[in-house]
Chains A and B, each alone.
Chain A
């Protein structure tokens, strides 16, 4: 299904926010200018993807990877993007690693919890017995006082 670039626009709100953050305060952007940039961005993605895909095919791979995209940027003469992209990629990888570790830790904690919950249960039963004994003793004391 061939999609025209204009059909695959990125969300206007986000595009607007990126533009506003890139520009100094007090500068605004007309609707037509924003939609022009949005369309350009869609074309850019398609072009970059196609370029990256060429690199993947050269490497006899069927899956695009990050380095294909980086190579595409250089090919498209956007070398200036390469450094910030590499930094973003590192941050992304760190986060992915952190997430993986966090989920593994969560799993461990969960297992520990179920173990300790079972221990607590048996401990609680013991406690209940102790409480009952204490109450009895208190009652006895009261009785003595009354006497």
Chain B
């Protein structure tokens, strides 16, 4: 599925530096997902000992990219059905159709 990744439509433009309080989560304006929850997921893996700040941040950004990707791919399926509402089956179809999503097989069951 040839989809372009140019338009991100997010805060990744590193907007003009705003005065941030030092106690706030780092790079809060670069992410939409709360780092705290991403870190909780990382800790859930018994094999992982520690994750650096950068690793947590970049993982969170990865998840955002993933969500955008799968949403767009699912939308392709919905479009074919001439629908404007994404349904669960569209997500399922995207998982089956896109090789990279092979690891997700069985997730929706």
What secondary structure prevails in chain B residues at the interface with A?
A: helix
* Interchain CB contact under 8 A, A47 and B58: no
Tell me the complex Cα distance, A8–B43, Å: 11
Tell me the complex Cα distance, A3–B71, Å: 25
* Interchain CB contact under 8 A, A53 and B52: no
CB distance from A85 to the nearest CB of B (A): 6
* Interchain CB contact under 8 A, A33 and B91: yes
* Interchain CB contact under 8 A, A33 and B90: yes
CB distance from A52 to the nearest CB of B (A): 7
A-facing residues in B16-30 (Cβ within 8 Å): 17, 19-20, 22, 26-27, 30
Interface hit among A92-100, A108-116, A119-127, A128-136: A92-100
Nearest B residue to A87, CB-CB: B12
Number of B residues whose C-beta is below 8 Å from A?
A: 66
* Interchain CB contact under 8 A, B87 and A17: no
* Interchain CB contact under 8 A, A26 and B84: yes
* Interchain CB contact under 8 A, B108 and A39: yes
Tell me the complex Cα distance, A15–B72, Å: 13
Contact with A28, one of B48, B61, B85 (Cβ below 8 angstroms): B85
With A19-B71, A22-B9 known as contacts, the answer to whether A99 contacts B57 (CB < 8 A) is: no
Contact with A18, one of B12, B19, B64, B86 (Cβ below 8 angstroms): B64
With A10-B33, A15-B67, A66-B52 known as contacts, the answer to whether A96 contacts B40 (CB < 8 A) is: no
Contact with A along B62-95 (1 / 0, CB 8 A): 1111111111101100100000111110111001
| Most B Cβ at <10 Å: residue of A10, A85, A89 | A10
What are 27 contact pairs spanning A and B, CB under 8 A?
Answer: A8-B40, A10-B38, A21-B68, A22-B67, A27-B78, A27-B85, A28-B84, A37-B67, A39-B107, A40-B70, A41-B66, A44-B104, A50-B45, A53-B48, A63-B51, A65-B54, A66-B52, A69-B55, A76-B103, A81-B65, A84-B5, A85-B58, A85-B61, A89-B54, A89-B57, A91-B12, A102-B19
